[in-house]
Structure 1
Amino acid sequence: MPEAAKTLASRRVLVTGAAGFIGSRLCSRLLEAGTEVHGVSRRRHEADGVHWWKADLAEYPAADHVMAEVRPDVVFHLAGEVSGVRDVAMIRPTVRNTLLSTVNLLTSACWLGSPRMILAGSASEPGPDGVPASPYAAAKAASSMYARTFHACYGLPVTNLRLSMVYGPGQEDYDKLIPYVTRSLLRGDVPRLSSGVHEFDWVYVDDVLGAFISAAAAADLAGHTLDVGSGELVSVRSIVERIGRLTGRTAQPQFGAVPDRQREDSLLADVRRTREVLGWQAQTPLEDGLAKTVEWHRERHADVAPR
């Protein structure tokens, strides 16, 4: 067991968004370390060993209630509206479910003796001109600003981890590139994609779990904002071509079938600073991570014959 995980063995931990892709795997990793794990989500869920709470954290009485009942030593805040859609209709739900839930938790934490707070930020927060490119990016940027305010003004020990493009087994959001392309090819369907020219920093989910646990265990990390990524940019086209080789399917994706998103920026994680401050760096090569991901989807959809 990694040393960082051992330090959390005697702690009481709250994971928000615990039913999600990253949150569910984080709960499992913490349970393996012997941590008392409490999970919260807006939908009813069950997980072996996890004390479960169903609550809408955007409602401040609900956030206060969960925090007061659990009284956590550490909070991993992953809940929020995860869609990167640019449509104006996404602004209100993103402000509510991402920004408001964060502010509610930070406020509750101040009233409860200031537990350690680890926030799941996003690499999409900044832009070259300082203007976020989507409602999601804007809500994450505002959440990050509030986190810095709570640390500077109220002494809350909060750390913001700006996640790059997280992928891996267990990701079933088929609006995301890797799950969508993998399932499509395994089914024999033709993925309809953008131009594929944009580049992103892709980071394997198990490496991200290590960053969260290391941040919770580290001393003197309060107030920091750190990037969590691989430190390498890889294009969408390259990712799709690699998945094609791993699935062994011959269907040719239709690049350019859907328009590119406006203001799509290539954001490379500052891995050197994260390594210096946190002592963490990604360990999983992209080819290995994609192979594990494709195998998970292959087993998941074993009953779906190619069309």
Structure 2
Amino acid sequence: MTAALPPDYRTLAGQRCLVTGAAGFIGGALLRRLAGYGLDVTGSVLHQAEAEVLRRQGFQTQVLDLASNADWDATLRGIDVVFNVAAMFQETDQPEAMYDRVNHLGALRLAETALRLGTHRFIQCSTVGVHGHVREIPARETTPFNPMDLYHRTKLAGELALMELARRTDPASMAITAIRPAMVYGPGDMRMLKLFRTILAGRFVMIGSGRVWTHLGHVEDNVDAMLLAAVAPAASVHGEAFNIASDEPMQLAPLVELIAREGGVKPPQLRVPVAPVWTAGLAVELLCRPFGWRPPLSRRRVGFFTHDRAFDLSKARHLLGYRSRWPHAEGVRDTIAAYRAQGLVAAAPAPAQYRPATSG
């Protein structure tokens, strides 16, 4: 069923859009939103099998590999707005050169091709991970970069290359904007599933104090931000990057308690120190690396418990008109309901039965 195009996005009417990475979480949500408004949108995916699945669901789909040397002219000709969400992420069997080929060089070549063929908006999905373990709370877009792993390093390289292209490009020709999503979650997300699953099953163990800052970003808020970047005045968003998250930052321990409360279970109490777990994560990484296995425990996973992530959204509010529509409590509740509907997390506990006192 087609939804009415909101007034905020009315300038997208009649435009042709391309969403890369449409088989993924964010890209898929963006594809569904644009198609749901009745707009002319094509999703690109990495594999033919993914394309066939989306076509059966009624979406226009093409195969596009950012690592390839293929000619993309046919895909990009006539496209007015490109949302580049495709990226290489958590592929443990790939070297950094391949990450760079996709997240940096591929993104840049896609933008250069789009510019040559007359696309007038290019929205790059970057990541707040370019700031890493942030050096000021809350982090702004100008906070020093501090990427912590190869994914974040190569996403930063791609963003910087696009910002350099923007400096050489008239916004009247093509406005280039980077959206940096925070810790994205919501129905359909698999990255945060382990956190929700362990909390709701009573198996969660806090590593460290739980006092680090974290900042969730509901997937629909991120979709809003990308759409706003596509319709904002070109001169105000050209060559600009925006950190995007939902609601307000909160410390990790209260977040865990929120998930437990919304899931109807007791908040977890067990804590362990960071150092031995970090050392174990390094050992597991070294053991798995020769086989190309994804380590079940890694330093990156431990970083979730030790790295501060909190973001100032004032720039996005001012230049994009962005407003989070998803308070954390509502988003967590929405996510738990979706996980339970799919049988991915423990079912809601049965309500306690009232038993009247009996006399002896």
Q: Could you tell me the TM-score, scaled by structure 2's length?
A: 0.74
Say yes or no: does 1:214 pair with 2:228: yes
CA distance in 2, matches of 1:202, 1:120: 16
- The match for 1:38 among 31, 39, 42 is 42
Say yes or no: does 1:200 pair with 2:214: yes
* Cα pair 1:158 1:222 within 8 Å, conserved: yes
- The match for 2:272 among 256, 259, 278 is 256
Q: CA deviation at 1:17?
A: 0.6
Code of the residue aligned with 2:79 in structure 1: it is P
Q: CA deviation at 1:51?
A: 0.9
CA distance in 2, matches of 1:193, 1:262: 10
Which segment is superposed worse, 5-14 or 228-237?
A: 228-237
Instruction: Name the residue aligned to 1:158.
Output: 176
Q: Could you tell me the TM-score, scaled by structure 1's length?
A: 0.86
Say yes or no: does 1:74 pair with 2:78: no
Q: CA deviation at 1:168?
A: 0.8
* Cα pair 1:114 1:157 within 8 Å, conserved: no
Q: CA deviation at 1:285?
A: 0.8
Q: CA deviation at 1:166?
A: 1.4
Say yes or no: does 1:232 pair with 2:248: yes
Q: CA deviation at 1:241?
A: 1.9
Code of the residue aligned with 1:39 in structure 2: it is G
Describe how 1:146-185 pairs up with structure 2 within 5 A: 146-155=161-170, 156-173=174-191, 178-185=192-199
SS of 1:125 mapped into structure 2: helix
Which segment is superposed worse, 255-264 or 2-11?
A: 255-264
* Cα pair 2:197 2:345 within 8 Å, conserved: no
User: Where does structure 2 lack aligned partners over 5 or more consecutive residues?
Assistant: 136-143, 279-301, 349-360
Q: Deviations over 1:8-47 (max 9, x none)?
A: 1311110011011111111111012111110011123233
Say yes or no: does 1:59 pair with 2:74: no
SS of 1:49 mapped into structure 2: coil
SS of 2:131 mapped into structure 1: coil
* Cα pair 2:181 2:243 within 8 Å, conserved: yes
* Alpha-carbon distance change, 184 to 231 in structure 1, aligned in 2, over 3 angstroms: closer
Instruction: Name the residue aligned to 2:150.
Output: 135
Which segment is superposed worse, 206-215 or 243-252?
A: 243-252
Poorly superposed stretches of 4+, deviation over 6 Å: 302-306
Q: CA deviation at 1:213?
A: 0.9
How much is the aligned-residue C-alpha RMSD, in angstroms?
Answer: 2.8
CA distance in 1, matches of 2:145, 2:240: 19
Q: When the two structures are aligned, how many residues end up with a matched partner?
A: 297
* Larger Rg belongs to: 2
Q: CA deviation at 1:108?
A: 1.1
Q: CA deviation at 1:201?
A: 1.7
SS of 1:132 mapped into structure 2: coil
* Cα pair 1:275 1:281 within 8 Å, conserved: yes
* Cα pair 1:160 1:224 within 8 Å, conserved: yes
CA distance in 2, matches of 1:297, 1:246: 13
SS of 1:109 mapped into structure 2: helix
